[in-house]
Amino acid sequence: MSLYTKRGVSAQKEEVHAATKKLDKGLYPKAFCKIYADVLCGDDNWVNVMHADGAGTKSILAYLYWKETGDLSVWKGIAQDAIVMNLDDLLCVGIYDQLLFSSTIDRNKQLIPAEVLEAVINGSQEFFDTMKQFGVNITYMGGETADVGDVVRTMAVNGTMTARWPKAKLITNEKIAAGQVIVGLAGFGQAKYEAAYNSGLASNGLTSARHDVLHKSYGQRFPESFDNSLDDSVVYIGPHRMKDEVEVDGKKLSIGQLLLSPTRTFAPVLKELLENHFDSIKGLIHCSGGGQTKCLKYVPENVHILKDNLFTPPVIFDLIQKASGADEREMYQVFNMGTRLEIYTTEKDAAKLISISESFGVEARIIGRVEEAEKQARLTVKTVAGMIEYK
């Protein structure tokens, strides 16, 4: 049994998928978000999309970092995490403008004071203001903020994003086919619209990252930061403190900064691509929960996805793997490993898409290709340990 499973979480969300298997899959079952007919206005040429997600357990990392450093600004990153985990999923069905966002914040008032709430709410608006500069308009509709100390130990930051969009401008992944290539966009580095280096970790696999990387003393000092029913052998078993430093691209960054890098949005890049090069895009996958295996859920059944040129994983994933002892199969199943967005396109159009991404400071390259398969979609990933097969 993996450490991930022992901590009561699942990279593949098997029980969630089992619980929801009887639900309507929407108009396009392979689309990255569920898409419905336009019930708001009743126009057959438009659709409605509503998506819910959040920062997950990353808010616990923010809590630990804030308690140790007193730095309130870390909570602005959590606000961005909760928004981007919605926004970038919607980007993957082609939606990049005129979005509505409502936040849901649950806190333990005894531990999370008003100034933390203020930092999250103001951080949300600051992110929306930045996106507006790139033509991505998101209206902040407020939301629910509840004091529920009996439910949450520290704080949970989530949200819901809604849009109405023309049916003719959707990406539904039905056009993914053998012969295409996959352009990967890096989640790490520093994009032109980012204020600092991004580790690329994003907001998935943070339960594993937190317990595997951070020192046992965090559990002793902050028992409110984990499920106390867990076996002690899987709780904060790492070698590092938040303030420990490592060198990244010639700069010294703390472990806390790497773990808490705000989830990068690809919205400025994809707005340009979707608005001006829509026909070049055959499919879009956000490598979030499920890491590099995420694509298996959204590609057609008759394809083999071969990823043999992924980005070299940035330092944060090396730190996590060394601390946890996880093998390559588990790492690529839990984490994005630095390659967080996949664009399925033709070989002829790939260079153009790569050039546009890099104009925003986001590294991009052909990471693989689509081949024919029989009956069931399958995935092969090239790692330093060799080729790994997933189905």
pLDDT in tens, 18-45: 777 777 889 999 999 999 999 999 999 9
Position 296 scores a pLDDT of 97
The CATH code that applies to domain 3-197+260-390 is 3.30.1330.10
Residue 199 has pLDDT above 80, yes or no: yes
What average pLDDT does the segment 249-265 reach?
A: 97
What average pLDDT does the segment 348-372 reach?
A: 98
Backbone angles phi, psi at 158, to 5 degrees: -135, 175
The predicted-structure confidence for 158-182, as pLDDT tens digits, reads as follows 999 999 999 999 999 999 999 999 9
Residue 11 has pLDDT above 60, yes or no: no
Position 13 scores a pLDDT of 60
Secondary structure of the chain in HEC code, one letter for each residue: CCHHHHCCCCCCCHHHHHHHCCCCCCCCCCCCCCCEECCCCCCCCEEEEEEEEECCCHHHHHHHHHHHHCCCCHHHHHHHHHHHHHHHHHHCCCCCCCEEEEEEEEECCCCCCHHHHHHHHHHHHHHHHHHHCCCCCEEEEEEEEEECCCCCCCEEEEEEEEEEEEHHHCCCCCCCCCCCEEEEEECCECCCCCCCCECCCCCCCHHHHHHHHEECHHHHHCHHHCCCCCCHHHCCCECECCCCEEEECCEEEEHHHHHCCCCCCCHHHHHHHHHHCHHHCCEEEECCCCHHHHHHHCCCCCEEEEECCCCCCCHHHHHHHHHHCCCHHHHHHHCCCCEEEEEEECHHHHHHHHHHHHHCCCCEEEEEEEEECCCCCEEEEEECCEEEEEC
pLDDT band at 12 (very low <50, low <70, confident <90, very high): low
Q: Supply 29's token pair.
A: 């079952």
The predicted-structure confidence for 71-95, as pLDDT tens digits, reads as follows 999 999 999 999 999 999 999 999 9
| In the chain, where the domains are located | 3-197+260-390
pLDDT band at 8 (very low <50, low <70, confident <90, very high): confident
- Are 109 and 291 in contact by the 8 Å Cβ rule? The answer is no
| Least confident stretch, 4-13, 258-267, 307-316 | 4-13
Position 22 scores a pLDDT of 76
Position 116 scores a pLDDT of 98
What pTM, to 2 d.p., does this model score?
A: 0.95
What average pLDDT does the segment 235-257 reach?
A: 96
- Are 369 and 382 in contact by the 8 Å Cβ rule? The answer is no
Averaged pLDDT score across all residues of the chain? 96
Position 7 scores a pLDDT of 77
Position 360 scores a pLDDT of 98
- Are 84 and 123 in contact by the 8 Å Cβ rule? The answer is no
Residue 102: other Cβ atoms inside 10 A: 18
The predicted-structure confidence for 340-355, as pLDDT tens digits, reads as follows 999 999 999 999 999 9
Position 16 scores a pLDDT of 65
What average pLDDT does the segment 386-391 reach?
A: 97
What average pLDDT does the segment 264-286 reach?
A: 98
Convert 3-31 to b/e letters by CB count within 10 Å (16 or more is b).
bbeebebbbbeeeeeeeeeeeeebebebb
What average pLDDT does the segment 95-117 reach?
A: 98
